[in-house]
């Protein structure tokens, strides 16, 4: 069988009718692309359509198959066989479509029940997994499209451009309403990521600027801001009020980072003369220290002697350590949201951190505090 020849014959017949592919497609309830494929010889009409096409063009089925007109018309027996074959094909297709329709309707029903159960979360229960809900809705849309396709409704909808536009707008609006939290969260996360990428890490080690960096003096890095809100209100008076000439500063670093919320990291190491050391130890021991064990995994300090500490379950630590030999280490890690974006290990020696301290992004303390939200 020559498909190209049959296609050319079908094209000649359409031209004889003076019809376009789009007009003919409406007659046989198919797409214009299908007509084009018939006439290009890429595909041939379904057997169930052959008799209908032959009647429309007033030719024999055999002539369409062979791609040319015959001087003798196909006898009645050949036509009857072709008609019966077409009826058989239509019956088989109808059975298949019914099975697909039943499965599709059941699938849509199951997905609707799933969505209702997921969104019917009562207060006090765990929050809805919005990604699971999104996947369920996507599956619902797919099942609905299959159902509309096999029932023939989808083809009619596609032809109505105004209806398609309305459905598109309604779908987008519905998704926005249903997933506003996911959309908002995505926007916030995007802002945080961009802010984190653009925010500079400011590191200072000039001890002559010491007073600029302390919230009890000039408001740390944020000029003109009320000191009550500087460094999240943490009390830094454990640190020396000022650096004097008789203090031997062995090391000093201050780090500021603000990807979205300000974070502060710093340490000052001072080697005191004997008398000054005793006086400073006395001052620090008189400081009214707070509870600190358990915050961010911190254990009882063993590496150094802890002289004073101001700890906050949310904002972090300000404290002073000593080696008992004249050296005092002042340190602070001040942040919020139960973790530090700043890679603090790069900027402070590990031994200057309180034993067990962990403020990484996935620290256990954060997980414990936020799991009930």
Q: What is the pLDDT of residues 43-87, one digit of tens each?
A: 888 877 888 888 888 888 888 888 887 755 445 555 566 566 666
Instruction: Say yes or no to pLDDT of 218 above 60.
Output: no
Q: Which of 9-13, 170-174, 228-232, 303-307 has the lowest mean pLDDT?
A: 228-232
Locus of tokens 């130890």: 281
pLDDT tier for residue 240 given thresholds of 50, 70 and 90: very high
- Return d(Cα 90, Cα 198) in angstroms, integer: 65
For 338, how many CA atoms within 13 A lie in the half-sphere containing its CB? 13
- In this predicted structure, what is the pLDDT of residue 292? 96
Q: What is the percent of the chain where pLDDT is above 70?
A: 68
- In this predicted structure, what is the pLDDT of residue 85? 63
Domains of the chain plus CATH, in order, are 1-74 (1.10.260.40), 201-370 (no CATH)
Tell me which residue of 60, 48, 47, 49 sits closest to 13, measured CA to CA.
60
- Return d(Cα 63, Cα 54) in angstroms, integer: 9
Q: What is the DSSP string of 292-358?
A: -TTGGG-----SSEEEEEEEETTTEEEEEEE-SSSEEEEEEEE-BTTB-SS-GGGTS-GGGSPTT--
pLDDT tier for residue 221 given thresholds of 50, 70 and 90: very low
- In this predicted structure, what is the pLDDT of residue 224? 45
**Between these two residues, 42 and 278, which has the higher pLDDT value?**
278
pLDDT tier for residue 195 given thresholds of 50, 70 and 90: low
Q: What is the percent of the chain where pLDDT is above 90?
A: 33
- Return d(Cα 203, Cα 253) in angstroms, integer: 7
């Amino acid at each position: 069988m020559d498909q190209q020849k049959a296609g050319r014959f079908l094209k000649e017949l359409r031209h004889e009718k003076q019809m376009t592919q789009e007009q003919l497609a409406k007659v046989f309830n198919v797409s214009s692309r299908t007509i084009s494929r018939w006439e290009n010889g890429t595909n041939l009409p379904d057997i169930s359509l052959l008799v209908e096409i032959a009647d429309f063009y007033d030719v024999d089925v055999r002539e369409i198959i062979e791609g040319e007109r015959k001087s003798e018309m196909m006898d009645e027996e050949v036509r009857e066989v072709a008609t019966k074959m077409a009826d058989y094909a239509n019956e088989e297709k109808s059975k298949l479509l019914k099975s697909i329709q039943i499965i599709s309707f059941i699938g849509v029903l199951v997905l609707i029940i799933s969505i209702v159960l997921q969104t019917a979360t009562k207060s006090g229960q765990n929050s809805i997994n919005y990604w699971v809900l999104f996947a369920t809705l996507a599956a619902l849309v797919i099942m609905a499209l299959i159902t509309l396709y096999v029932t023939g409704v989808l083809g009619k909808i596609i032809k109505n451009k105004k209806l398609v536009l309305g459905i598109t707008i309604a779908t987008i609006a519905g998704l926005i309403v249903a997933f506003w939290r996911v959309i908002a969260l995505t926007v916030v996360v995007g802002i945080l990521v961009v802010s984190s990428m653009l925010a500079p890490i400011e590191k200072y080690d000039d001890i002559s600027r010491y007073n600029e960096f302390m919230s009890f003096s000039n408001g740390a890095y944020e000029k003109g801001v009320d000191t009550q809100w500087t460094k999240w209100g943490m009390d830094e008076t454990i640190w020396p009020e000022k650096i004097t000439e008789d203090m031997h500063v062995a090391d000093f670093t201050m780090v500021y980072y603000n990807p979205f919320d300000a974070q502060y990291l710093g340490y000052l190491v001072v080697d005191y003369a004997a008398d000054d050391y005793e006086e400073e130890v006395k001052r620090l021991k008189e400081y009214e220290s707070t509870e600190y064990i358990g915050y961010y995994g911190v254990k009882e300090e063993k590496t150094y002697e802890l002289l004073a500490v101001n700890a906050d379950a949310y904002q972090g630590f300000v404290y002073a350590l000593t080696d008992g030999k004249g050296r005092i280490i002042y340190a602070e890690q001040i942040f919020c949201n139960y973790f530090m974006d700043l890679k603090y290990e790069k900027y402070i020696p590990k031994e200057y951190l309180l034993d067990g301290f962990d403020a990484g992004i996935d620290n256990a303390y954060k997980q414990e505090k936020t799991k009930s939200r």
